[in-house]
Amino acid sequence: MNKLFAGIIILFLIGCKGPIVAQKTTQPNIIFIMADDLGSAELGCYGNTFNETPNLDKLAGEGAKFTQAYTAAPICSPSRAAIMTGQYPARIRITDFLPDNSDRYLDPAKYVTLNEALSAGGYHTGIIGKWHLDTRFKNPKGNPKQHGFDEVIGSETKYIADGDYFYPYDKTETLNAAGQDDEYLTDRQCLEASKFIERNKSKPFFLYLTFYSVHTRLDAPKSIVDKYKSKFDREYGAGKADELFEKNDRHEGRHLDNPYLAAMIERIDLGVGAIMETLKKQGLDKNTIVVFFSDNGGVGNLGNNGILRAGKSWLYEGGIRENLIVRWPATIKAGSVFDTPVYGTDFYPTFLDMARATSKADKIIDGKSFLPVLYGDGKGLNENRPFYWHYISETGKWVPRMCSAVRSGDYKLLHFYADDRIELYNLRTDPSEKNNIAASEPSKAKELKAMLDQWRKDVNAEAPDLSAAQNPKAKRKKLID
């Protein structure tokens, strides 16, 4: 067992003997925890029986979980851009993952990011982990420091698409100074989060803890993987885990119960538990809002998206509907379940409302605060307000997935560009999107298509490049966000 993991275990098990320093503020701290590519059915509190997530399950039990929380995009960079700005990705012109050394980036001159708005409201801000909104690492124009974070810890120093999970780190090199042999990146991030809490305990803080996990390539400490391999073999047959998941170093296996994925999720869960213990020890647990979310759905058959169709990089529900857990003891009734739909741009105004802060920037905010939902019985927002998505795959060039979509009430319409195809679903009766009712409900399809067309004009949405569709044999770029 490496020293870092042992330290996290000790931190998690240590007894709480009361607060060390009471925070002299009534403003709540906010910790926003972001997983990467987490499927919507990977946590125990969302129905998973293979993965073990006791701390996240406890977090949901002490607060609330949302059943209809949407990311603003089916893929990494635009989803994160929407959270940071409160704007639709189509407005920002980042609607796909940013490749290495991309000309596109989140411009500090154009956007007041969430952390900057909270900083203006008196918060000390920090990011630990993935940014992926500027990939010009040698000559950055929009990295976290340039967007005003007070502390930047462990954000990528090289393009990290294919993983970098063990010390010494090649793509998060700033973590190497404190690194240890056999150290696991998730463990380091969580330890840094606890240290951030401890040194900022006397002032209101916003911490954006953004994991690189569970992004493929999958990898985790061997002891934890072996535990889940044994569990897999007991359920599916002796030797099946090695047969399925040791074909290559990506460990994909194409099975919903994946020992490597489960081990990665367990390490996230353990770290969340340690962070909660740190808050309790510092006397901050009752005045700290903890939010857990993911940037998009799980990858294809690799991630477990439950009954939802497809996954990452698709605008079907599996690509955009996510777990959302919010714990705030002062406000949220323990064990609450909220069915009200919420959207990625909503975090910006919600966090400002939680902090009792206002942004003075003259800019558009597309999101709506869901604080009234948390205060009440799960209501307080217009449940029929439309949500829009625009995925033209400008990086991946995946023409069949180029699509725009709108959800209004129970209905969701998708417009696929390659063949100008319209699909319409009633999500209340068909959450798996199996029955396209566009032909049987033409008036509803026409209504939603008109809404989508008008929205694309309003946000000046970029048109897709369909040139690859003219050559079906054209080489497709590998999806590596």
Q: What are the tens digits of pLDDT across the range 285-314?
A: 999 999 999 999 999 878 999 999 999 999
| 380: in domain | no
| 381: in domain | no
| 84: in domain | yes
Residues 240 and 371 in one domain: yes
Residues 350 and 401 in one domain: no
Residues 398 and 466 in one domain: yes
Residues 179 and 228 in one domain: yes
Mean pLDDT lowest for which of 23-32, 222-231, 443-452?
Answer: 23-32
Residues 367 and 394 in one domain: no
Residues 268 and 235 in one domain: yes
| Average pLDDT estimate for 348-368 | 86
The DSSP bridge pattern shows strands 124-129 and 205-210 to be parallel
Residues 147 and 188 in one domain: yes
What CATH number has the domain bearing residue 401?
3.30.1120.10
| 369: in domain | yes
pLDDT in tens, 388-437: 999 999 999 999 999 999 999 999 999 999 999 999 999 999 999 999 99
Domain count across the chain: 2
pLDDT of 475 > 80? The answer is no
The DSSP bridge pattern shows strands 64-70 and 288-294 to be unpaired
Query: What is the model's pLDDT at position 24?
Result: 45
Residues 366 and 412 in one domain: no
Mean pLDDT lowest for which of 5-9, 301-305, 461-465?
Answer: 5-9
Query: What is the model's pLDDT at position 449?
Result: 98
Query: What is the model's pLDDT at position 22?
Result: 41
| Average pLDDT estimate for 262-274 | 98
Query: Which residue, 375, 409, 427, sits at the end of a domain?
Result: 375
| 7: in domain | no
Query: What is the model's pLDDT at position 478?
Result: 42
**Tokens read off for 182:** 């056999």
pLDDT of 4 > 50? The answer is yes
Residues 406 and 348 in one domain: no
| Average pLDDT estimate for 15-28 | 51
Share of the chain above pLDDT 70, in %: 91
| 15: in domain | no
pLDDT of 468 > 80? The answer is no
| 171: in domain | yes
Residues 461 and 340 in one domain: no
pLDDT of 281 > 60? The answer is yes
| Average pLDDT estimate for 220-231 | 98
Contacts 24+ apart (CB under 8 A), 358-365: 358/121, 359/112, 359/117, 359/120, 360/120, 361/112, 361/117, 363/85, 363/87, 363/111, 363/112, 364/86, 364/87, 364/91, 365/86, 365/87
Confidence of residue 26 (pLDDT cuts 50, 70, 90): confident
What CATH number has the domain bearing residue 289?
3.40.720.10
Q: Measured between alpha carbons, how far is 469 from 105 in angstroms, rounded to an integer? A: 27
Mean pLDDT lowest for which of 144-148, 335-339, 468-472?
Answer: 468-472
| 118: in domain | yes
Query: Which residue, 341, 375, 409, sits at the end of a domain?
Result: 375
Residues 200 and 53 in one domain: yes
Query: What is the model's pLDDT at position 126?
Result: 98
Parent domain of 233: 26-375
Q: Measured between alpha carbons, how far is 123 from 25 in angstroms, rounded to an integer? A: 11
Query: Which residue, 375, 410, 436, sits at the end of a domain?
Result: 375
pLDDT of 358 > 90? The answer is no
Mean pLDDT of the chain: 92
| Average pLDDT estimate for 110-117 | 97
Residues 218 and 101 in one domain: yes
**Tokens read off for 478:** 């590998």
Confidence of residue 5 (pLDDT cuts 50, 70, 90): low
Q: pTM (2 decimals)?
A: 0.93
pLDDT in tens, 204-215: 999 999 999 999
Query: What is the model's pLDDT at position 2?
Result: 57
| Average pLDDT estimate for 348-365 | 85
pLDDT in tens, 35-79: 999 999 999 999 999 999 999 999 999 999 999 999 999 999 999
3-state secondary structure the chain: CCHHHHHHHHHHHCCCCCCCCCCCCCCCEEEEEEECCCCCCCCHHHCCCCCCCHHHHHHHHHCEEEEEEECCCCCHHHHHHHHHHCCCHHHHCCCCCCCCCCCCCCCCCCCCCHHHHHHHCCCEEEEEECCCCCCCCCCCCCCCCCCCCCEEECCCCCCCCCCCCECCCCCCHHHHHHCCCCCEHHHHHHHHHHHHHHHCCCCCEEEEEECCCCCCCCCCCHHHHHHHHHHHHHHHCCCHHHHHHCCCCCCCCCCCCCHHHHHHHHHHHHHHHHHHHHHHHCCCHHHEEEEEEECCCCCCCCCCCCCCCCCCCCCCHHHHEEEEEEECCCCCCCCEEECCCEEHHHHHHHHHHHHCCCCCCCCCCCCCCCHHHHHCCCCCCCCCCCEEEEECCCCCCCHHHCEEEEEECCEEEEEECCCCEEEEEECCCCCCCCCCCCCCCHHHHHHHHHHHHHHHHHCCCCCCCCHHHHCCCCCCCCCCC
Which of residues 469 and 421 earns the better pLDDT score?
421
Confidence of residue 110 (pLDDT cuts 50, 70, 90): very high
